[in-house]
Amino acid sequence: MSTSLSGIFFGVIKRDIRLAWSQGGTGTMALSFFLIAVTLFPFGVGPEPQVLARIAPGVIWVVALLACLISLDRLYQADFEDGSLDDLALSPLGLTGVAAAKIAAHWISTVLPLVVASPLLGILMNLPEEAYGTMVFSLLLGTPALSLIGSMGAALTVSVRRGGVLLSLLVLPLYVPTLIFAVGAVDASAGHVDASQPLALLGASSLLALAIGPFVSAQALRLSLE
Amino acid sequence: MHKFANPAQFNRLADRILPWAKAILAATLLYGLYLALFDSPPDRQQGESVRIMYVHVPAAWMAMFCYMVVAGASFTEIVWRHPLALLAGKAAAPIGATFTALALITGALWGKPTWGTYWQWDGRMTSVLVLFFLYLGYMAIWRSMDEEEKAGRAASILALVGVINIPIIKFSVEWWNTLHQPASVFRLDGPTIDGNMLWPLFTMAIAFKAYFVIVFLYRMKLEINRRKISVLRMSQVNG
Amino acid sequence: MTDLFEMGSVGPYIWGAYGVTAVALVLLAVFSLRANKSAAEMVDRMRPKRRKKSDKEQA
């Protein structure tokens, strides 16, 4: 195994992606949750195409957000419990780098499949044709913020037993701006309105999350490792 | 006992401030309530329901102010590891959560006769609701860990992350409205407020602030006593 | 007097808002003061015990 910084960084990413898609990993579970939860809505609100089309962007985004959330509570916990997080913290990469690698791995392994599956759910939810492009683009642009913000919550609750509920309490309010901008963008495209401004704000929130996410996660992890 | 030196000084300072704060609270609360309920005219547009504003607006101010106290304490704790700062955040959060809840409830009670609905998903109400959730998260994380200091530092990190969130949500106000409910406008127009309404508003705001000072100081004392108890317990176990 | 309570039909909302505020703030204050009082008493109860113990240790 290479000991260069990038070698360790990509090593962590590769290992986490492999774990996420191995038996009982979070990747398959989050994707299944995403598909099943969205199909509940036509049963819940009724199958009228207009109603579904109206709520489609919000439903797909909210369920993607929840699917991301349920996969987050084990982001650091497994490594924390078996002690490998201590080893990683001592590697030349530093905790901030480790957090960045694990966040990247979470996004690639768990969130990217949701983005790929989203057009299929768009069909089931009768999403207006002109909104598909914006929806996929908004997911690509906005979901990194979900992983980054979620990572902060996961790091804060890493030593809490059954921290999942606490994690959602901490993270969901912080997801609100991302959700507002993202659904605003998709709704705008569905209504033939220019979506560039909400998309710019969505990108800005992802960048802001990127600026603080790995650093804050590392600070929070250090608390539990002390 | 270096650990006790600071809190003892704090307790002395608190005991000096408390009587003044109580006197100010009593005076401003009585005068403010008199102004708000009896000696101010009904608003031209809002009618009598403007009187709710005299508790609603100060409560909303206090909700923000308390969050700044929590965030300031968190910053002090993380940067300088000041032991009292850790407790200040813990002491201020429940007061802030209460004021936030009151701002939401009184706002809803104002909205029903004025807009015809208790709740509108408008930017300001949404952001205050998120503020309430942030307080809940902050308090929940304090309770989640056995080690006080660890829990407090984790809560502090959350409080500071939450600070960044507030301006973002505030900024989204216009967006939210234009995209979802262009008709609903939540506005306390500057020019429509005249002196008759400013006086009760500011008197009540001072009363609320004095209330905060009193309850905050008592909660600080409470946290210091709790800390003392756990220190004493430790020394009994170890001794 | 009825004017004061009805306030042009919005009375219930106004009194509701003031009432909820009063109840919540009083409860918070009472709870905080009481908790502090019992914690302070607890500290007082624990202190002498500790001193006795350290006296014994010294002896």
Q: How far apart are CA C19 and CA B48, in angstroms?
A: 16
> Consecutive sets of 10 residues in chain B, 239 residues long: mean pLDDT of each?
63 90 93 83 74 88 91 89 87 95 90 80 80 92 84 90 71 50 40 68 92 95 89 80
Any A CB within 8 A of B133 CB: yes
Query: Using an 8 Å Cβ cutoff, are A71 and A108 in contact?
Result: no
Query: What confidence tens digit (pLDDT) does each residue in A77-118 have?
Result: 888 888 888 888 888 888 899 999 999 999 999 999 999 999
- Minimum distance, in Å, between the CA of residue B106 and any CA atom of chain C: 5
Q: Minimal Cα distance from A175: which residue of B? A: B165
Residue A60 banded pLDDT, cuts 50, 70, 90: very high
Q: What is the reported pLDDT for B59?
A: 92
Query: Using an 8 Å Cβ cutoff, are A157 and A166 in contact?
Result: yes
- Considering only CA atoms, give the Rg of chain B: 20
ipTM, two decimals: 0.83
Q: Minimal Cα distance from B148: which residue of A? A: A223
Name the residue ranges covered by the structural domains of chain B. Answer: 29-38+51-228
CA distances from C58 to A104, A222, C49, C52 (A): 60, 41, 14, 10
Here the tokens at position A186 are 């998709």
Pick the residue of B1, B45, B55 with the most C CBs within 10 A to test the interface with C by mutation: B55
Here the tokens at position B74 are 């968190």
Here the tokens at position A49 are 């195409």
Q: Is A200 helix (H, G, I), strand (E, B) or coil?
A: helix
Does pLDDT of A25 surpass 60?
Answer: yes
- Considering only CA atoms, give the Rg of chain C: 24
Residues 6+ apart with CB under 8 A from B43: B49, B50, B192, B197
Q: What is the reported pLDDT for A20?
A: 83
Residue C8 is nearest to which of B37, B48, B235, comparing CB atoms?
B48
Query: Using an 8 Å Cβ cutoff, are C21 and B207 in contact?
Result: no
Query: What confidence tens digit (pLDDT) does each residue in A132-173 have?
Result: 888 999 999 999 999 999 999 999 998 887 778 889 999 998
**Contact across the interface for B52 and C32, Cβ inside 8 Å:** no
How many C-beta atoms surround the C-beta of residue B121 within 10 A? 12
Q: Which chains touch C (3 or more CB pairs under 8 A)?
A: B
The residues in A 116-175 lying below 8 A from B, measured between CB atoms, are 152, 156-157, 159-160, 163, 166, 169-170, 172-174
DSSP string, B39-60: SSPPBTTTBTTHHHHHHHHHHH
Q: How far apart are CA B229 and CA B7, in angstroms?
A: 13
Residues 6+ apart with CB under 8 A from B215: B95, C28, C29, C32
How many residue pairs bridge chain B and chain C with CB atoms within 8 Å of each other?
Answer: 96
Residue B176 is nearest to which of A180, A208, A216, comparing CB atoms?
A180
Q: Minimal Cα distance from B122: which residue of A? A: A180
Q: What is the reported pLDDT for B191?
A: 42
- Minimum distance, in Å, between the CA of residue B174 and any CA atom of chain C: 28
Q: What is the reported pLDDT for C14?
A: 86
Q: What is the reported pLDDT for B1?
A: 37
DSSP structural state of residue A39:
H
- Considering only CA atoms, give the Rg of chain A: 18
- Minimum distance, in Å, between the CA of residue A18 and any CA atom of chain B: 30
Q: What is the reported pLDDT for B8?
A: 82
Query: Using an 8 Å Cβ cutoff, are B130 and A143 in contact?
Result: no
Query: Using an 8 Å Cβ cutoff, are A135 and A60 in contact?
Result: yes
Query: Using an 8 Å Cβ cutoff, are B141 and B159 in contact?
Result: no
Q: Minimal Cα distance from C24: which residue of B? A: B98
Q: How far apart are CA A21 and CA A109, in angstroms?
A: 7
Q: How far apart are CA A149 and CA A164, in angstroms?
A: 15
Residue B225 is nearest to which of C10, C36, C53, comparing CB atoms?
C36
Q: What is the reported pLDDT for A213?
A: 92
Q: What is the reported pLDDT for B182?
A: 36
Query: Using an 8 Å Cβ cutoff, are B141 and B153 in contact?
Result: no
Counting residues of chain C whose pLDDT is more than 90, the rounded percentage is: 37
- Minimum distance, in Å, between the CA of residue B150 and any CA atom of chain A: 6
Here the tokens at position B156 are 């502090």
Q: Which amino acid is at C47?
A: R
Residues of chain C contacting residue B239, judged by C-beta atoms under 8 Å apart: 50, 53-54, 57
Any A CB within 8 A of B168 CB: yes
Residue C43 banded pLDDT, cuts 50, 70, 90: confident
CA angle (B129, A207, A72) in 5-degree steps: 65
- Quick check: do C and B touch, 3+ CB pairs under 8 A? yes
**Contact across the interface for C17 and B47, Cβ inside 8 Å:** no
* Cross-strand partners of B47: B43
Residue B169 is nearest to which of A177, A208, A220, comparing CB atoms?
A177
Q: Which chains touch B (3 or more CB pairs under 8 A)?
A: A, C
